[in-house]
Copies of this chain bind each other. A is one copy, B any other.
């Protein structure tokens, strides 16, 4: 008779924690801006690291190119980002946030800061540091 506590299975805990913690923040981008998670992630990367190619977004955010492609198309429709052709290589297109996209980024970053602070408020500084460190290692970031 095998006996195994699901709580001893880290991927399970990670998934549960990820789902639970994402749920609350989802309101910020979904309800407020009618945005999908992938779209929000693309905005985050462009806002944080500046204009880049779709390929770079894929690599950094580890999102498949088809998802990025669709997210970029949606964000362009919403006028939150623009594509610019790079003369050197017409296969690439430089993605940049528009003023409106920047505003969304700024707003969501504020929300993210508040949200995160509340999320880890119950942990000590040391616990927070270890948690972060472990997650980064597991994620391979």
Contact = CB atoms under 8 A, between A and B. Distances in A.
Interface in A1-40: 2-22, 25
B123 A13 contact: no
A61 to B, nearest CB: 9
A138 B25 CA distance: 13
A2 B139 contact: no
Report copies per complex.
Answer: 2
Contacts of A130: 126-127, 130-131, 134
B132 A7 contact: yes
Contacts of A119: 10-11, 138
Contacts of A4: 44, 47-48, 109, 112-113
A85 interface: no
A16 B137 contact: no
Contacts of A44: 4, 6, 12
A127 B11 CA distance: 16
7 contacts: A4-B44, A5-B48, A7-B136, A13-B141, A16-B135, A17-B139, A18-B18
